[in-house]
Structure 1
C-alpha cells in the first residue's frame, strides 16, 4: 500500500474518532500531512469555547412562588363566605394545575431547543474535537433533571473543560444545581447524610469499584455535607451550618475533611487515572481494553495533574491507535451516526424536532440518559430492531425512504419501488430534511472512482462484493445511499 494511501487511512480514522468525520476535500488537502500536524490542527480548531445559550428561563423559580409563569395563568379571583371559600379553593387548585401544565410545556420546549442546539452545533462546528469530548463527558457525568437551564449549564461546563483539566471540571460539575439535585447532595447535611453523590463520585466518575470501601463512602458523604445551591439564586453556595465539621477517616487518612479534600485524595490515587484512561480507550480506540496502552495513557494523565490535552495527544499520536485492529471496529453511537450524516451531506431540517424522534428510535436522546451510569455504548447500541432502523434511516433522510435497485428490476421490485414512490411525499412532509449531496460530490477529487468512494465512505476494509456493487451503481447519489444503508457504515 503506497504511503499516501496509508496516510489517508490514518487521517480518515483520526477524524472518525476525534471528530465526526472528514470531508473528501479536507482529506485530499491533508493527505501528505504527518499525523502530528493533523492532531495539532484538530486542537487548534477546537481552542475556542462557544457555550449554548438557548435556555434562559429557570422553571424551578415557579415552585418557589416566583411569578415567571403566573402571568400566563388567567383565573378569576376568590369570593367571600363559606361557599365562596370553597370556590376560591377550587380556583386555587385550578390555578395550580394550570401552572404545572405551563411549566411542563416550557420544559418540553426547553428540552427540544437544547437538544437541537447541540445537534446543530455538532453538525456544523469546526471544533470537532471539543464537541466529541463534550459528548464523552456528557455520558461520563451522566445526569438527568427536569430543569433544562441546569442541564444547559452542566453541558457548558463539559464543553468549557472538555480539553482542559479534569480536576477543575469534576469540581465544577459537583457544584452544579443539576448534579446536586440529581444525586441528592442538595439534601446532604450533618443531621441526615446522603451517600448518593459520594458513592457515584467514586464508582462512576473517578476511581471505580474495588478501590474504596463502604466506610469511605460514608465518610466522603459527611465531607460533602453543605455542598448545596442557593434556593434564591440557584448558584452553588457552601452551607457551613449544614456541614459536618467532625473528623473523618477517608482512604486511611484522618482529618476534618471537606469535599475538596476528598476530590484531592481520590485524584492522588493512580487507580483514578487508570479508570478514566480505560473509559477513554473504549470510547476512542477499542471496546477490548489493552492494559499496556491504558497504563501508558494513565501515566500521562497522572503526571500532568489530570490535564486532558496531553492525555488525548498521547492517544491520537500513538502508533497503536492506527493499528488495523483499531480501525473500523467501533459501533457509532446514534448521535455520532446522525451527526456524521449531517456533516457529510450538509443536511438541514425544516422540522428539526425530527432529530429527537430519530434519537429516540435509535436509543440515545441527548440530556436523557437511562440512568446515572449513562449509555453502556459499544455493541449495546445494536440489536435487530435498532439495526433495521439504522439501515433505513439514511435513505429516509437522503432520498425520502427510497433505495434505488441496480440493473433490471424484477416485477416484485418494480411493485415495491412504485409503492415506495407513493410514500415519498408523505416522508418528505414528515422528515423535511434537505441534503446537499451535490455539494458532497463536488468536493470529491477529480476522477474519483466509485470504488474509491466506497473506500472513503466506509471505515472497515471494503470487501470485493461491495466493490463490485459500487462499480455497478448507476450514479454517485445511488451509490452513496446504498453505502450509508449498509451495516459497515455503522462502524467507525
Structure 2
C-alpha cells in the first residue's frame, strides 16, 4: 500500500473517512502524524442547542401539565436538533476519533428514551469520555439519568430489587453474556444498586432509605457491597478488559478478531487501568492494522456511510429532514438504538432491501433519482426492513451538492479515492458506463456500487 492508501484506511477507521478539504494532507502526511491529528480532543465542546436550553425544573413543569403536547413536541424537536448537531460534528470536527468512539459508546451503552435533556446529557458523556478512562465512563453512564431511566433503576428499591441494570451491566456493558457471572451474582448486585436514582433536578443521588445495606455475595466475595463496589469488582476481572477490547477491535479493525492480538491488546488495556487511548494507540500505530486482511474488511454502518458521503461531497441539505430520514431507513437513527443491545454490525447491516437503498442514496443526494420511501415512526426499531416503508411524494429532493467546491477532487483517481481496493474489472465496467457522462456522474456511479459499502 502506498502512503495515500494507508492514510485513507486510517481516516476511515479512526474517523468517518476522507474530507474534501484534506486530500493533500492524506497524500503528504505519514500515518503517525495523521493519527495525532485525528485523535486530538482540543476542540471539544459539549453539544448544547441554545434554542432548547431550559432547566430540568422547567422541563418537569412541562411534563406535569395535563396537556402533554408541548413536552412531547419539545422532546421531538430537541432530539432531532441533537442528532443533527452531532452528525454535523462527525462531518466537520477535526476531532474525528473522539466522535467515532463516541458513536461506538452510544451503541455499546445503548439507551432509548424520549427525554431530550437526558439524551443530550448521555451523548455528551460519551463524547467527553470517548478517549479517556473506561472506568470513568462506566461510572458516569451508570449514574446518568438516561441509563437509570432506561433500565428502571429508579424502581430498584430494597423492598423489591429490579435486576434490569445489574443484568445489562455485566451481560452487555462489561464482561459479556454468560461470561464470569451467575444468576445469583445478578440478583446480589441488583441489591447493591438499590437506591441509585436521580433527583428532581435530574442529578444522580443515592437514596439511602431505599438501599439494601445487608450482606451480599458477588463473584465469590462477601460484603456489604454498594453499586460502586460492584463496578470496581467487575473492572478487576481480566474478562472485562478482553470483552471491551474484542468489541473495539471488531468496530475499528476487523469483524473476525485475531485471538493472539486480542489477548495482547486486552492485557495492555487492563494494565493501563482501562485507558481507552492506550488501547487505540496500540491498534492504530501498529503495522498489522494496515494488513491487506483489514482493508475493506468492514461493512460501513449507516452513519459511517451517510457521514462519509457528506465529508467527501459537501452539500446543502436545505430543510434538513430528508438527509436524516436516511438514518432511519437504513436502521441507525441517532439517539434511538433498537434495544439495550445497541445496533448490529458487519454484514448484519445488509440485506437485499437495505443494500439497494444504500446504492441508491448517492444518486438521490445528487438529484439524479428520487427517494420514493420514507420511514414510519417506528422504522428504526425494525432496522429499516421493508414492511415499514411507505411511498411518499416523489417531488421532494431538498439536497444540493456543491460541485464547485470539489472540482479538484473530480480530477483525482476517484476509484482509489472512494473505494478500499478497486479492481481493474470494476474500473473498466464503471468507466464504460460513464463514457459520455461527466466526472460528477462517475463519482456518483462509484458511490453506488456494493464495493463502496466497505471500508
| TM norm. shorter chain > 0.5 | yes
Displacement of 1:481 in angstroms is 0.9
Which residue of 223, 232, 236 maps to 1:264? 232
Q: Give the direction of change, closer, same or farther, for the CA distance of 1:13–1:68 in structure 2 (3 Å limit).
A: same
2:18/2:308 contact within 8 Å kept: no
Matched, 1:480 2:439: no
Displacement of 1:187 in angstroms is 0.9
Partners of 1:378 and 1:475 lie apart in 2 by 33
> So what's the TM-score if we normalise by structure 1?
0.83
Aligned counterparts, 1:216-295, within 5 A: 216-230=185-199, 232-295=200-263
Partners of 1:356 and 1:477 lie apart in 2 by 23
Q: 1:246-304 CA deviation, whole Å, 9 max, x = no partner?
A: 11111111111111111111111011010001101110111112111111221121010
Q: 1:21-66 CA deviation, whole Å, 9 max, x = no partner?
A: 124663433434332222112123x33321111243468966x6x2
SS in 1 for 2:217: strand
SS in 2 for 1:431: coil
Partners of 1:218 and 1:69 lie apart in 2 by 34
Matched, 1:435 2:396: no
Q: 1:228-260 CA deviation, whole Å, 9 max, x = no partner?
A: 101x21110111111111111111111111111
2:47 corresponds to: 52
1:455 corresponds to: 416
Q: 1:62-83 CA deviation, whole Å, 9 max, x = no partner?
A: 6x6x25785xxxxxxxxxxxxx
CA RMSD, 1 decimal: 2.1
1:194/1:221 contact within 8 Å kept: yes
2:277 corresponds to: 309
Partners of 2:297 and 2:229 lie apart in 1 by 40
1:69/1:102 contact within 8 Å kept: no
Matched, 1:490 2:447: no
Q: 1:117-144 CA deviation, whole Å, 9 max, x = no partner?
A: 1112212211111111110000000001
- Structure with higher helix content: 1
Partners of 2:330 and 2:156 lie apart in 1 by 37
Unpaired segments of 5 or more residues in structure 2? 371-392
Q: 1:198-238 CA deviation, whole Å, 9 max, x = no partner?
A: 000001000112211111111111111111101x2111011
Partners of 2:152 and 2:336 lie apart in 1 by 18
Displacement of 1:103 in angstroms is 2.3
Q: Give the direction of change, closer, same or farther, for the CA distance of 1:377–1:394 in structure 2 (3 Å limit).
A: same
Aligned counterparts, 1:148-187, within 5 A: 148-187=116-155
1:29 corresponds to: 25
Across the two proteins, how many residue pairs are aligned to each other? 429
Partners of 1:60 and 1:355 lie apart in 2 by 34
2:367/2:397 contact within 8 Å kept: no
Partners of 2:265 and 2:43 lie apart in 1 by 25
2:70 corresponds to: 102
Partners of 2:414 and 2:323 lie apart in 1 by 27
Displacement of 1:348 in angstroms is 2.3
Matched, 1:322 2:302: no
Partners of 1:59 and 1:40 lie apart in 2 by 38
Partners of 1:146 and 1:40 lie apart in 2 by 37
Partners of 1:239 and 1:198 lie apart in 2 by 17
1:43 corresponds to: 39
Q: 1:314-359 CA deviation, whole Å, 9 max, x = no partner?
A: 1111222111111112111111111111111112211112223111
Q: Which has the larger radius of gyration?
A: 1
> So what's the TM-score if we normalise by structure 2?
0.89
